[in-house]
Amino acid sequence: MTSGWASGRLDLLGGVADYSGALVLEVPTAAGTTVTAEPAEPPAALAIGDTVLTADELCTLAALPYPEMRDAIAHLPRWTHYAVGVALVLVRHGVIDIPRAHLTVTSDLPQSVGLSSSAALEVATARALGAGHLDPLPLALLCQEAENHVVGAPCGVMDQVTVAMGQSGAVLPILCRPAAVGAPITIPTGLEVVGWPTGAEHDVSGVPYRRARVAAFMGKRLVEEQTGRVVDWVTELPAHAVDDLPEALEGWAFLERWGPTDDTVTTVDPDLTYPVRAATAFGVEEHARTNHARDALVAGDAPILGALMAGSHAGYDAMGLGHPAATATVEAAVATPGVHGARSSGGGSGGTVVVLCDRGALDHVEHLVR
């Protein structure tokens, strides 16, 4: 029997700017997910819940192109896609042989509230299946590959990296180009980063998140044409050119003139209207905020951090990733003595608000995430 564990994630600053190539500042949670692998009874090669796959089925699936693989497992319970996807990616890359494992999942990490429960399940599964010998960063990137291409959720890289590499009591800086991890920064004495659930579920596969991500890549394409310069990341765009972008653009109009974006995990929907300026600007501005916040963390300057979090929260609202429940929670948080800042976090649209506060300032809040 083998087992793997991975934490959840609190997003102090950075959030959805990860897919734009920003620096993000992440904190692991105390709660996490454990996956235990025991020998599976034949003919099962992989069993999880009521889902059973044989060795032949796994071999066939692992050889399929990702779109076909995703379609082939669509009939399985949605939550199992994360674990099955990781197994298929590990087999596909030769990291593990066809497993003979019955997986059991236990978790004290709240689900569907923007705490990276899916990334925790992926990383814990990879470790339980025998990929723990890999360095944490390559392991995290393989788990992101599974979520992007097998599950079909267009997450950035920060979730998997944080749950695989985060250290208790410290902020993990990650430059998402695609993923360079800096030295952990100890949270200043007397402060803590906590999560205050809003009561509204979050889904990184949902329309608001996809629309914001697509809009950022649309903006990148427009600025590249305007400036005559192609860049690798949205965060490398000049701010003055981003300011000149249209506030909104219909998908059909973009496709008619520019064709698809260069994002490999999303497509432009001709029937949607995209918040191009706000979504593109968020990546550029958030990257500047997180670099400033990293210095403020080292200096222990909580008021500066609070102001930067407020700017990030406003950016979420501007690109359509806000939520009335998140607004109410942020307002309640910043009105509480000892709270220095609060913001929508992760993929937004509700989920969990992240709060920087004096230690113990929010002990009265039910279901607080530390």
76-111 residue pLDDT tens? 999 999 999 999 999 999 999 999 999 999 999 998
Confidence of residue 343 (pLDDT cuts 50, 70, 90): very high
Residues in the chain, how many?
Answer: 370
Q: How many CB atoms lie within 10 A of CB 190?
A: 12
* Residue 227 covered by a domain: no
Q: pLDDT above 70 covers what percent of the chain?
A: 99
* Residue 28 covered by a domain: yes
* Residue 238 covered by a domain: no
208 pLDDT above the threshold of 90: yes
State how far the Cα of 11 lies from the Cα of 116, in Å rounded to an integer. 10
Cis peptide before 238 (omega within 30 of 0): no
pLDDT value of residue 140: 98
269-302 residue pLDDT tens? 999 999 999 999 999 999 999 999 999 999 999 9
Tell me the average pLDDT of the chain. Answer: 95
What residue numbers bound the domain in which 181 lies? 2-186
pLDDT value of residue 186: 96
205 pLDDT above the threshold of 80: no
pLDDT value of residue 278: 98
Confidence of residue 318 (pLDDT cuts 50, 70, 90): very high
126-144 residue pLDDT tens? 999 999 999 999 999 999 9
Mean pLDDT of 135-163: 96
58 pLDDT above the threshold of 80: yes
State how far the Cα of 125 lies from the Cα of 121, in Å rounded to an integer. 6
* Residue 128 covered by a domain: yes
Q: Which two tokens stand for residue 54?
A: 């044989």
215 pLDDT above the threshold of 90: yes
pLDDT value of residue 138: 97
Confidence of residue 203 (pLDDT cuts 50, 70, 90): low
pLDDT value of residue 60: 96
* Residue 286 covered by a domain: no
Segment holding 263, helix H or strand E: none
Task: Reduce the secondary structure of 167-223 to three states and give it as a string.
Answer: CCCEEEEEECCCCEECCCEECCCCEEEEEEECCCCCCCCCHHHHHHHHHHHHHHHHH
Mean pLDDT of 361-370: 95
* Residue 140 covered by a domain: yes
Question: Domain holding 57: CATH number?
Answer: 3.30.230.10
10 pLDDT above the threshold of 90: yes
* Residue that has been written with the tokens 């066939």 in this structure: 60
State how far the Cα of 234 lies from the Cα of 232, in Å rounded to an integer. 7
- Reduced to 3 states (helix: H, G, I; strand: E, B; else coil), residue 38 is strand
Q: In the 8-state DSSP scheme, what is residue 281?
A: H
Confidence of residue 3 (pLDDT cuts 50, 70, 90): very high
Least confident of 19-33, 56-70, 190-204, 220-234: 190-204
pLDDT value of residue 204: 57
151 pLDDT above the threshold of 80: yes
Pairing of strands 101-107, 44-48: parallel
Number of domains composing the chain:
1
* 162 phi and psi angles, rounded to 5 deg: -65, -45
* Residue 342 covered by a domain: no
pLDDT value of residue 43: 86
* Residue 103 covered by a domain: yes
State how far the Cα of 280 lies from the Cα of 214, in Å rounded to an integer. 9
